[in-house]
Amino acid sequence: MKLIEADKVEITVIMDNLADWLLEDTQHVKRAKDSKNGIELKVPLMAEHSLCLFISIYKGQERHNILLDTAENGVSLQNNINILNTDLKSIEAIVLSHAHSDHTHGLSWIISQVNPSVPVLAHPDVFLSGRTSMDGNEEIINDCPEIKTITNHGNSIIETRQPYLSTTGLFAVTGQIPRKTDFEKLKYVSYITRNGKKEFDSIDDDQAIVVNIKGKGLLVISGCAHAGIINTVKYCQEITGISSLYGVIGGFHLPSCSKSVTTERTIETLKKMNPEIIVPMHCTGTYAIARFIETFQDKCNLSCVGSTFLF
């Protein structure tokens, strides 16, 4: 797979777990204000445990916009999009990182706002029914996306079990990510119905986006990294044939405990890869984010809703 080099990338955080008006601008991020047109917002940007990223990829005078995930709550999603003046009509593709509701529940509203020509890129397992997760001893039914939500509006679906190169050649979607590390083990207990039979859900539909930025290297953009963020980065390097890692942004889904072997080995491995910028988001976890800040210092940038990251 040969990625065309992008001149630059901008990623606006439409939805993430944190809202914070006090975070400052840095070299790599411009923060949203709690006002619009000089007037304080009566209803501010809303945060929730979910993710939605508006990604702009530039090549010369061209700008190509894609959306990664669609958050969970259509009401707060619409609120943030309106405040941030996000032009959904400019989107050329929607990528679903996996089926979980905190990444897909806003899909029906998003689809109603975009052009019918916009494809939805997803692993085939995203649309399997009978998905459940365990909360202690209680089994919770997950309301996953339905194909008709997309096709009834006239939009197409591109299933990406294998790596997929976009029509522009400026970004790729990994498809299903091989799990090779010995420390990134899936601890999320859930089940799925396949061919009428209930089985353990290994979340095979987890996938990421990768861009090659000119003179810098790969930018890896993950949704939740259920496959492991190291597995994700290494697979991006494998399918593109590019070893240089410029940045990693997205959810890393690390353990929520304060001391974790998985977190420490993840950080240790990323240090060796030497990215210029790391942005842990969403499901990375508070303790893990604290360790990233401690370890990578200025290379680690905090995310919050309304932030625009500049690469």
The pLDDT > 70 percentage for the chain reads 100
Contacts 24+ apart (CB under 8 A), 84-91: 84/12, 84/14, 84/32, 84/45, 84/54, 84/306, 86/12, 86/14, 86/54, 88/113, 88/114, 89/113, 89/114, 89/115, 90/65, 91/54, 91/65, 91/66, 91/67, 91/115, 91/118
Q: Where are the domains of the chain?
A: 8-310
Burial class of residue 29 in the structure, from the number of CB atoms within 10 Å of its CB (0-12 exposed, 13-18 middle, 19+ buried): buried
Q: Residue 6: what pLDDT?
A: 98
Q: Which is more confident, 242 or 185?
A: 242
Distance in angstroms (rounded) separating the CA atoms of residues 251 and 41: 28
Q: Residue 239: what pLDDT?
A: 98
Give the chain's mean pLDDT: 94
Distance in angstroms (rounded) separating the CA atoms of residues 55 and 53: 6
Q: Residue 134: what pLDDT?
A: 78
Q: Which is more confident, 107 or 135?
A: 107
Distance in angstroms (rounded) separating the CA atoms of residues 134 and 305: 28
What is the token pair recorded at 61?
């005078």
Task: Fill in the amino acid letter for 20.
Answer: D
Mean pLDDT of 154-182: 96
Question: CATH number of the domain at 8-310, out of 3.40.50.300, 3.60.110.10, 3.30.70.20, 3.60.15.10?
Answer: 3.60.15.10
Distance in angstroms (rounded) separating the CA atoms of residues 132 and 235: 28
pLDDT confidence tier of residue 137, bands split at 50, 70 and 90: confident
Q: Residue 160: what pLDDT?
A: 87
Do 55 and 68 touch, CB atoms closer than 8 A? yes
For residues 212, 214, 217 and 218, what is the CA-based torsion angle, rounded to 10 degrees?
A: -20
pLDDT tens-digit series, residues 19-48: 998 999 998 999 998 888 888 888 899 999
Is the entire prediction scored with pTM above 0.85? Answer: yes
The pLDDT > 90 percentage for the chain reads 81
Kindly report the CA angle at 190 between 187 and 191, in degrees rounded to 5? 140
Q: Which residue has the tokens 């405990």?
A: 257
Do 120 and 159 touch, CB atoms closer than 8 A? no
Q: Residue 136: what pLDDT?
A: 77
pLDDT tens-digit series, residues 235-259: 999 999 999 999 999 999 999 888 8
pLDDT tens-digit series, residues 255-304: 988 889 999 999 999 999 999 999 999 999 999 999 999 999 999 999 99
